[in-house]
Structure 1
């Protein structure tokens, strides 16, 4: 196989990986759900079984799916980037880490939301709205919503259509996960409110509104973490 053909196959597998991931989000398939078999996925995305197999391997390496020999492929999580690429789980002072992470989010995510408002497709907007609804529904029912919260912020970052932003998604995912774990879901109503504001601004293609709503969302987070860091709330 020529180097060009190898590169072409690799890029195709990466494209199908992304399509399968969004299929998991859009269906939606919850953790534990079984994916269609290789033949069905190949038919759905118009590729051969070998390409599907490579795409599934990529998703498996990221912890999104698990291949069980003789049984099939199952969803493990809907959140990308939980491999902790910056080794932040080893930091002992979780409150200090959460504060540093939310400060980084304030530098990055308002701009991501602004770019998403400018560049999101109708499909992106539908996906963001669906994830916003799922977070709100799970908060009201008392279910765990961290994976959907991470997927919501991941989808906004992807909707920016910026290649560099996509490489920052693991940092955003780690920060969201860290925040929910540290605060024990203290800001559920604020999360519902500001997620809805962000979603509506992106749907209107209102970049200033999206930036402002994301700043408000993150400032709620930061103030909560600041109180925890200063000992005003018990963890």
Structure 2
């Protein structure tokens, strides 16, 4: 099965949670809709009922599902929390969402980097350097931990900017990074991102706000171009337009 190979490195409950979310999107459930009962979901997910219960509980903690005692499981009307506070998980058009999130990142992240170059302490800069090195080591070792560290790098920058509103908007940036990592695998993009992190770090270390701003903007533009190019190539292949190559 496709979803098994796609998520095979993850724990069973996590895989079941992700597949359940996929089913919700595929079937077009909306806020307030009731999900099939536990037995039917177990059949759909090809797992045991105890795993279904854990998967439902996992999505409930993210405010995606709501369990009503004696009634069943429903799509929650609450806004998401922590991991997905803007409920991006329920957006079906992933390409549109990814490109729209890039637009938001254009507005936020260059300014974040600029402020960090102005206000970061020496200790902050040392922490950033540690993360950049850790990302490079993880990529070199083929360790998927680099994905988590990438998110952490951008979160740290927002925190160091000293702007509370910037920090509260980090889920926008985080979700963009997660979407890219989930759907795009271009190796050149990884290499370019490593160099971009270096450039951003260097500008911050040199206390050069304009260079930090420009380096972050260049980073986001570069990643966006690669993502859109890869998406275009996949679309062409899907429609049989690359057969002449």
Query: TM bucket by the smaller chain?
Result: 0.5 to 0.7
Distance 1:123 1:185, change over 3 A: farther
1:126-178 CA distances to partner (integer Å, 9 max, x unpaired)? 11111111111111111111110000000111110111111111221111111
Quick check: which has more Rg, 1 or 2? 2
Asked if 1:88 corresponds to 2:88, the answer is yes
Task: Give TM-score, length-normalised by structure 2.
Answer: 0.60
Distance apart, 1:114 and its partner CA? 0.3
> Partner of 1:190 in structure 2?
192
| Distance (whole Å) between structure 1 residues aligned to residue 141 and residue 82 of structure 2 | 25
Contact 2:186 2:226 in 1 (8 A): no
Preserved contact between residue 204 and residue 212 of structure 2 (Cα < 8 Å): yes
Whole-angstrom distance in 2 between the partners of 1:137 and 1:90: 34
TM-score, reference length from structure 1: 0.62
Aligned equivalents of 1:148, 1:216: Cα separation in 2: 20
CA distance in 1, matches of 2:103, 2:230: 15
The answer for the alignment partner of 2:112 in structure 1 is 112
**Matched position secondary structure for 2:207:** coil
Aligned residues between the structures: 157
Instruction: Work out the CA distance in 1 between the residues paired with 2:133 and 2:224.
Output: 23
Superposed displacement of residue 119, structure 1: 0.6
1:129 and 1:183, CA in 2 relative to 1: closer, same or farther beyond 3 A? same
1:134–1:148 contact (8 Å) kept in structure 2: yes
Q: Distance in 2 between matches of 1:105 and 1:129?
A: 22
Match in the other structure for 1:69: none
Write out aligned runs for 1:1-235 (5 A).
83-144=83-144, 145-186=146-187, 187-231=189-233
What runs of 5+ residues in structure 1 fail to find an aligned partner? 1-60, 63-80
Quote how far apart the aligned CAs of 1:82 are.
Answer: 5.7
Mapped to 1, the partners of 2:192 and 2:230 lie a distance apart of 17
What is the Cα deviation at residue 229 of structure 1?
Answer: 3.8
Q: What secondary structure does 2:92 align onto? A: coil
CA distance in 1, matches of 2:92, 2:148: 23
Q: Shift of the alpha carbon at 1:232?
A: 5.4
Distance 2:96 2:185 in 1: 16
CA-based RMSD? 2.1
Aligned-residue offset at 1:185 = 4.9
State the Cα deviation string for residues 106-134 of structure 1 (Å, max 9, x = none).
Answer: 11100000001001111110111111111
